[in-house]
Structure 1
Amino acid sequence: MAIVLEAKHGQFAAEVADFFSAVHFKNGDRDRSDAWADVAERLRERENERLLD
């Protein structure tokens, strides 16, 4: 999912994943919220890796 978000939203991909995480959290779906938070974290890790190369 991280790759798909990067392809569609570029530098805003992590923020999009954070948005989905917040929506699911607000709707009481903790599992999906956590999954989207993990995607956002991975996107930020990928961005940091690219900056270090």
Structure 2
Amino acid sequence: MAKKSGSGLQSSAGLMRYYEADKNAVQVQPKVVLIVGAIVGIAVLFLSAVNGFWP
């Protein structure tokens, strides 16, 4: 059987464009997301307790 010569470049071209677009995105570490989420959760619980809306 004959090998297809042009399929490798066509399939990788889309991936290269995708990763180039990803380089311009804002990079946030997972630890930062967890810490901010925990702080927001604690703040909501604190404000609920202060205002008398404790579950």
Bigger helix fraction = 1
Kindly indicate whether structure 1 or structure 2 has the higher relative contact order, using CA contacts under 8 Å at least 6 residues apart. 1
TM-score class, shorter: 0.3 to 0.5
